[in-house]
Structure 1
Amino acid sequence: MKRAGILNRRLAGAIAGLGHGDGVLVCDAGMPVPDGPYLVDLAFRAGVPSFEEVLDGLLAELVVEGATAAAEVREANAGAAALLDGHFPGLTLVPHERLKELSAGARLVVRTGEARPYANVLLRCGVFF
């Protein structure tokens, strides 16, 4: 059994299969999940687990070279905007509809129980060397 890190077997396995340039969408409970990407649905009930908890856990295990979020997060969810700005100084912002289009090309979608709007980010995997 793993000692630490992500314990969810489906999520841990999906992370192990990611490569440079692959997309990972971390999303709130309301984000439409496109057909195609592998989905790990962690949502249990409203707010559990939170977007922040899941994002922090993923960032502890992933190398990320870029991130894209919906521009609407700035006005609709100051907490998520601050979290994203803190983690990703070069954060790219696009209209929410564009983020939904881009998410169809993700390799992995991790759905949280987050119940605040626009708590979504599309991560682009980097390499550790």
Structure 2
Amino acid sequence: MKKSPLLHSDLSYLVATLGHTDEITICDAGLPVPSLVKRIDLALTHGVPSFIQTVDVLLKESQIEGVIIANEFEQVSPVHHQALLECLKSEELQTGKTLSITYLSHEDFKLRTHQSKAIIRTGECTPYANVIFQTGVTF
């Protein structure tokens, strides 16, 4: 059995196959998933698993260098937005690498998800609780 925090086989495979600058989206239960992008559906019920729980595990398993967030997330759901920023700050401190954070309109964010290698759907029911991670390298 794996020793690392991530036990979900599809997520483990995804992380193992990511290359530099690949993008993955972690989203709330309502974000539309483009038909040509792989969907990894974790949603069990309202709030399970949460957006932040999923972000936390993915950050422990993969190296990122960039983050894309919808402008509306900060405005409509400031508590969850702040929690995401705290996770990102912790990641920067642990890795010693500065993360690039880009904000787009929600409409542009949805279009950008078409470039994701996969979209990970959580049980989160907080508006705009979505993020795109751009993968980095560990060296």
Question: Shorter-chain-normalised TM-score: which range?
Answer: over 0.9
Structure showing the higher helix proportion among its residues: 2
Q: Return the TM-score normalized by structure 2.
A: 0.88
Partner Cα distance (1:81, 1:90) in 2: 16
Aligned-pair Cα RMSD in Å: 1.2
Report the counterpart of residue 94 of structure 1 in structure 2.
Answer: 104
- Partners of 1:76 and 1:37 lie apart in 2 by 27
What's 1:122 paired with? 132
Other-structure match for 1:78: 78
Q: Residue in 2 aligned with 1:106?
A: 116
Runs of 4+ in 1 over 6 A off after TM superposition: none
Alignment of 1:1-20 (within 5 A): 1-20=1-20
The answer on whether the counterparts of 1:85 and 1:91 sit within 8 Å (CA) in structure 2 is: no
Deviation, structure 1 residue 74: 1.3
TM-score (norm 1): 0.95
C-alpha contact 1:69 1:120 (8 A) present in aligned 2:
yes
Q: What SS does the corresponding residue of 1:69 show, helix, strand or coil?
A: strand
Output one character per residue of 1:48-74: Cα deviation in whole Å (capped at 9) or x when no partner: 000000000000011100000100011
CA contact under 8 A between 2:65 and 2:100: conserved in structure 1? Answer: no
The Cα of 1:83 is off from its aligned counterpart by 2.0
Residues 1:26 and 2:26 are matched in the alignment: yes
Aligned letter for 1:115? C
Offset at 1:3?
2.6
Q: Quote how far apart the aligned CAs of 1:11 are.
A: 1.0
The gaps in structure 2 that reach 5 residues or longer are 90-98
- State the Cα distance separating 1:79 from its structure 2 match: 1.7
Distance 2:35 2:59 in 1: 24
